[in-house]
Structure 1
């Protein structure tokens, strides 16, 4: 079974966060049987389960149950591999987060990330997976704290979320969370997420550079293609994007395109922690967001581009994905992208 991995860049960020507690990270790596020198190799990868063991050992040694929040104090674009520089050159934070979602697997395969506009604002939602070990809460909390710190670092403004959702139970001491997020906290939530004001997400970034953004997109795309080339999940997504406009995709057609039997395709996807139906649903959802962001594409065209023979099936699927109709979603995207004359007082 293929292990989910984390980039050396992200692992280095974790190490810096642990060193803030005075922990001896080289010794911890030796205890866990990990290669500390691999942190200097930008193409090195660490198993997600090993990062879980690292967090567990760090809490045991430090006694700090909110240790993941330290990541906010060390985050820089380099923590996100080449993806960080693509974010840095984006026009807005919203555009940057869209890039982050697109290239997330470069940073860590263990994390599923979505960024979408809802009734409460823009939601950056995170789910962390493990292979044999259940990920600790510190991994997700570190990611949330990092994402917010990056917002503040890139924008040069003290951005505060409208709300922070944390899956973990409320700890005895919530002061570290208040200090890290400066926002209403919801513990025991259904998922981990940051909810942002659309205005904050749409203001131009001082680091924006369209030419550099395109260059970093190319580098990130090439890395992802090289890294994902042997992964069936990546190849299935590529084929789905190509054949969806031809109608409802069949598992048999997909297997033939990949030169695999249907049984082998199913087994390989299971080994990578997913299924044909899950990938089909995820790919359609991601493409739906892209199509509805283009004013010239009608809802009927979008339904057919996503392979829905019956538009009503598209509308039902869309409500399941986003809890709104396609028309309502498009209106929200349009409203969010309309420049505001003034910034409301906070």
Structure 2
């Protein structure tokens, strides 16, 4: 388990340049989300500021789908940070995506998880530590960029097998034209599904000498970040991924971390935390995030945060918020 939990998000060096390239003035974005113009020169922002920047871009660009396609195809290779540059010069598409999912850990809040089946390569976008998911336009741009990466690297007009998004994405016809496949919205997961055979395609931009320089440095940076991460943050990240899998106990989490349950509890105590409280806090945060989506039934939310019995969820929620899930949701809509 290697996720990096932090509330500091790095803006890619070419982010603002890409905005200018598609006709969106950075100062208009910052003014719209009430952030100082000096932030154009800040390489690191908070998660809340990062979300606000993306949401402002969505409002300025109009249709979410159009904004996704415009930005995903606007990045200049010369402006890639080292982690992204290593993906562009990877050996093949699989190597590029493997590097992307690995080094994305150094730049939360989103987290990429890749796996392969007999016929497909699947990349899921999840949330490493944030209590709220990011704006739809950010999610869409991330998955669109992964396909664009393959197209640029192979010099082939690759298409996806399927794409699914949790949130609304605007004009899905625009997205289906870009991805070359059906696009589902209102799904349970943000997922890009590729043909496994495409992952074997070599990159015309492969540069072994550059990778020999970049890879050790990137791996050292990732290792340093992981070693500095608090154990309680690691536990919360695992809990977010495992809540809907049924009964969760300290033994299973300790096993995932390669620790005994006694060692895990002792180290959490040293950090001023406890497994019971981390589980409650994680359930609470995730419940609020899911309830903010009016399309989800409360019974579904109870299951997603690890309660088999809806009545147990109602009791826990009342202890957290002093009201019922239904009343809390209604209050947010006022």
- Which category describes the TM-score, using the shorter chain as reference length? 0.5 to 0.7
Residue number in structure 1 paired with 2:220: 222
Secondary structure class of the residue paired with 2:64? coil
Tell me, yes or no, if the aligned pair for 1:140 and 1:192 is still in contact at 8 Å: yes
Instruction: Give the counterpart of 1:249 among 259, 277, 288.
Output: 259
Instruction: Give the counterpart of 2:10 among 4, 7, 15.
Output: 7
**How far apart, CA to CA, are the structure 1 residues paired with 2:202 and 2:264?**
41
**How far apart, CA to CA, are the structure 2 residues paired with 1:235 and 1:49?**
18
Residue number in structure 2 paired with 1:101: 101
Query: Are 1:182 and 2:180 counterparts?
Result: yes
**Equivalent residues in 2 for 1:236-275 (5 A)?**
249-254=259-264, 261=270, 263-264=272-273, 266=275
Tell me, yes or no, if the aligned pair for 2:86 and 2:215 is still in contact at 8 Å: yes
Cα shift at 1:40: 4.9
**How far apart, CA to CA, are the structure 2 residues paired with 1:82 and 1:130?**
24
Residue number in structure 1 paired with 2:23: 22
Tell me, yes or no, if the aligned pair for 1:75 and 1:146 is still in contact at 8 Å: no
- Using the size of structure 1 for normalisation, the TM-score is 0.63
**How far apart, CA to CA, are the structure 1 residues paired with 2:231 and 2:157?**
38
Question: Aligned residues, how many?
Answer: 260
**Equivalent residues in 2 for 1:1-346 (5 A)?**
4-9=7-12, 12-13=14-15, 15-19=16-20, 22-34=23-35, 36-37=37-38, 39-40=40-41, 44-66=43-65, 67-77=67-77, 81-106=81-106, 108-128=107-127, 131=130, 133-169=132-168, 171=170, 173-233=171-231, 249-254=259-264, 261=270, 263-264=272-273, 266=275
Cα shift at 1:158: 1.0
Q: 1:129 to 1:20 in 2, by over 3 A?
A: farther
Q: 1:223 to 1:38 in 2, by over 3 A?
A: farther
Q: 1:99 to 1:61 in 2, by over 3 A?
A: closer
Q: 1:35 to 1:220 in 2, by over 3 A?
A: farther
Cα shift at 1:34: 3.6
Cα shift at 1:252: 2.8
**How far apart, CA to CA, are the structure 1 residues paired with 2:7 and 2:158?**
32
**How far apart, CA to CA, are the structure 2 residues paired with 1:215 and 1:235?**
31
**How far apart, CA to CA, are the structure 2 residues paired with 1:195 and 1:270?**
31
Secondary structure class of the residue paired with 1:9? coil
Secondary structure class of the residue paired with 1:194? strand
**How far apart, CA to CA, are the structure 1 residues paired with 2:54 and 2:41?**
20
Q: 1:115 to 1:199 in 2, by over 3 A?
A: same
Q: 1:184 to 1:119 in 2, by over 3 A?
A: farther
Residue number in structure 1 paired with 2:238: none
**How far apart, CA to CA, are the structure 1 residues paired with 2:89 and 2:21?**
29
Cα shift at 1:117: 0.7
Cα shift at 1:144: 0.8
**How far apart, CA to CA, are the structure 2 residues paired with 1:187 and 1:209?**
37
Cα shift at 1:85: 2.1
**How far apart, CA to CA, are the structure 2 residues paired with 1:252 and 1:224?**
28
Please, which runs of 5 or more residues in structure 1 have no aligned partner? 238-242, 275-346
- Using the size of structure 2 for normalisation, the TM-score is 0.64
Residue number in structure 1 paired with 2:287: none
Residue number in structure 1 paired with 2:250: none
Spell out, residue by residue over 1:178-206, the C-alpha distance to the aligned partner (whole angstroms, 9 max, x if none).
33212222222221121111221112222
Q: 1:272 to 1:96 in 2, by over 3 A?
A: farther
